[in-house]
Amino acid sequence: MITITRNEEVVLNQIKIYNIEYPEGVPMSIIKKELGFHEYDLVQILEELQDKDLVIFNDNKITLSESEKEINTVNSKKDLEELELNQKEKDSYKLIQELVDDKNLVSKYTLEGHLLYGDLKLSNFRMYHIILSLQNKGLLKSIVKDDGEYYLLVE
């Protein structure tokens, strides 16, 4: 499922309307004139849609991608970031479940290393934000033992 903002949805729907009339690609000027978006904003939206493989944006012409994808729409970029963060939290939680030992413990440095340099490739800020969020939700607890710092996965 692909998540897009309301503005991206408006632009995508407009492209779908004009796609039949312009099979070689809808001119960006038509979309700009129809929607009244500033050119800079429109280009950013089109690039976002292209990054999500919904359109092909080339030489100021836009064509729809051939793939049929399920689309979810959110109100703003902030909502989109929140949704992505929630997904990163879920992915991080799954990773923690894989890393814990039989006592549900994982070394602090092992966990942070996997979050930073593993498949998720989180930034320092995002990693600590996710760990703190999981602790606040009562899913993870920081523990200090004689041999080092650990996280306890609370199930």
pLDDT in tens, 46-96: 998 998 889 999 999 999 987 777 777 767 767 766 666 677 888 888 898
Q: Assess whether 58 and 84 both reside in one domain.
A: no
State residue 70's pLDDT score. Answer: 74
The residue-averaged pLDDT of 99-110 equals 91
Q: Assess whether 8 and 46 both reside in one domain.
A: yes
Q: Assess whether 101 and 122 both reside in one domain.
A: yes
Among the ranges given (6-20, 57-71, 77-91, 109-123), the one the predictor scored with the smallest mean pLDDT: 77-91
Q: Which domain holds residue 133?
A: 76-153
Chosen domain end from 22, 50, 73: 73
The residue-averaged pLDDT of 29-51 equals 91
How many independent structural domains does the chain possess? Answer: 2
Q: Assess whether 90 and 149 both reside in one domain.
A: yes
State residue 110's pLDDT score. Answer: 92
Q: pLDDT averaged over the chain?
A: 86
State residue 81's pLDDT score. Answer: 62
Q: Assess whether 41 and 54 both reside in one domain.
A: yes
Residue 15: pLDDT over 80 = yes
Q: Assess whether 49 and 89 both reside in one domain.
A: no
Q: Assess whether 41 and 93 both reside in one domain.
A: no
State residue 90's pLDDT score. Answer: 84
pTM above 0.85, yes or no: no
Q: What's the gap between Cα 80 and its chain centre?
A: 7
